[in-house]
Structure 1
Amino acid sequence: MNVFLFQTKPERLDLRSAIVPGEQAVWYATRYQTEMAPGDLVYLWMSGDEHFKGLYGWGVITSKPYPKADWDSHGVDIEYRVRFSKPIKASSLENDPVLAKMLVFRAPHASNFLLDAPAIKGLSKVIKDRREKVPNFQGAVE
């Protein structure tokens, strides 16, 4: 099972209101298409202004990536599972020596990021410390 971070711009999809647990959505799958599979975990990140840039929740991939006729890329279906009660701002993650190495900070212009084991562990700890629902990496909640 892989864990991804999917990024959107607020003018494309505003995560402050878009994440509704249980609802399905289609997201861009511009990179790592061959690694994406149903059941994979997806953290949901919004770029932009420092006041709202950060992590807003998580979901689970429910399809393989597929061509979208009206897009310049593939799409992938996800189910929103958790919307955090308060977003985890990027500024609170950038000072962590492990999380600061995530590609979303070093090369922030992509839509999809494959997370490594240290980033997955670090994000889980931050989420748990904030008393938010932590995924158990099978799409369920701990």
Structure 2
Amino acid sequence: MLWSVTRYAKDMVSGDGVLIWVSGEQAGIYAIAEILESPKNVATPADIGYWIDTSRASNRTCVKIRFTSKLLDKPLLRENLKQDPMLQHLMVIRVPNGTNYKVTPEEWQRVHELRN
């Protein structure tokens, strides 16, 4: 699956982990994925049908990912993450208007502890 990259493309490499955040009333981490290839510019992304204004979809930087864990039945919700001493400082919680965020190794480890 291709995923849009808006920041940190030069820092992403194959094997890096990804946390998939869903925003909204029940915001939180809903999946974990792995980067399969370095980011690249894609003229016409596979999800072109998703875009109302298709001019915004062309020539996007994307990274190929593979889901390794889906947490759809038990997502790690923002309200709970805000109570966790390690995860309350996630950038997606502090500055929610962005798209791609870095996660520290300690935050990554804590997410894996909580999902089990």
Pairwise same-fold verdict (TM > 0.5)? yes
* Superposition RMSD in Å: 1.5
CA gap of 1:97–1:71, structure 2 versus 1, over 3 A, is farther
Match of 2:115 among 127, 130, 135: 127
Write out per-residue CA displacement over residues 25-82 of structure 1, whole angstroms, 9 at most, x where no aligned residue: 1111111101111111111110112xx2111121111111111224364111101121
2:37 paired residue number: 63
Q: TM-score, normalised by structure 1?
A: 0.66
2-structure distance, mates of 1:90, 1:72: 32
**Which blocks of at least 5 consecutive residues in structure 1 are unaligned?**
1-24, 129-142
Structure 2 length-normalised TM: 0.79
Q: 1:82 aligns with which of 59, 69, 77?
A: 69
Which structure has the bigger radius of gyration? 2
* Mapped partners of 2:106, 2:34: distance in 1: 20
Higher strand share: 1
Paired position in structure 2 for 1:115: 103
Letter aligned with residue 58 of structure 2: W
How many Å separate the matches in 2 of 1:106 and 1:71?
A: 30
The residue number in structure 2 matching 1:8 is none
Identity %: 27
Runs of 4+ with deviation above 4 angstroms: none
Match among 1, 7, 21 for residue 45 of structure 1:
21
Matched AA of 1:34: K
